[in-house]
Amino acid sequence: MSAALAPETLRMPRHVAIIMDGNRRWARARLLPRVLGHHAGMRAVRKVVAAAHDIGIAYLTLYSFSSENWRRDPHEVSDIMGLLRRFIREDLAEMHAKNVRLRFIGGRDRVSPDILAMLDDARATTEGNTGLNLTIAFNYGGQDEIVDAVRAIAREAKAGTLEPEAIGRETISQFLHTAGVPDPDLIVRTSGEQRLSNFLIWQSAYAEFVFTDTLWPEFDRKALIGAIEEFNRRERRYGAGDGA
């Protein structure tokens, strides 16, 4: 199947999640400062969001900054925070005009008040939109998300508003940061690495994975469609057998 196939010929995953990896390697290969790799990565975000909107993906989740990324050099972290501010300032109006619904998942600790205010405003501004559901995982960690859910469930059980025997998989899903968003059908990781890196641990139980050597700044519409083509070659069984 060629990457040149028209999107309408493909079985479209409802929810695509992407681990955006390779900005720093892209810059290093070009003898450029790391910050320019992140700038190039932001341009790739715009291309992929536009492509997802155009080809009819309902949900797109992008892993932009993990809770572990605070360990990076403070100057690099500051550059990334600046890019987030710029993305919201420059792109929010266009996304709103395109009927994109924007939400953010992750912790609010360590995030500066001005960025939190921008995230809240972006979410409120686009809350009523009915097009592409774009989720940005920012200051996010899958294990932390599960801990938050368990704590919330424990509080309700302690208060007597939730019976322990009534707690099931659906209950836990309702307390996750992604409550209301379907689990991803397809998870893509760029740059050749083959691991989840603490991303959507609970939600990825039956996702299909596509790992590509393409560095994130070079990931575009064609690469997205190529990943969806690979998804179309998979037979999803949800544990119902190995096909033998």
Condensed to tens digits (0 to 9), the pLDDT of residues 92-123 reads 999 999 999 999 999 999 999 999 999 999 99
CA distance 72 to 139: 13
CA distance 5 to 40: 26
CA distance 219 to 41: 9
Q: Does residue 9 have a pLDDT over 90?
A: no
Q: What is the pTM of this model?
A: 0.93
* pLDDT above 70 coverage of the chain, percent: 95
CA distance 203 to 135: 14
CATH class of 11-141+183-232: alpha beta
Contact between residue 28 and residue 223 where contact means Cβ atoms under 8 Å apart = no
Q: Does residue 62 have a pLDDT over 70?
A: yes
Confidence of residue 6 (pLDDT cuts 50, 70, 90): low
Q: Give catalytic residue positions.
A: 21, 69
pLDDT the model gives residue 3: 43
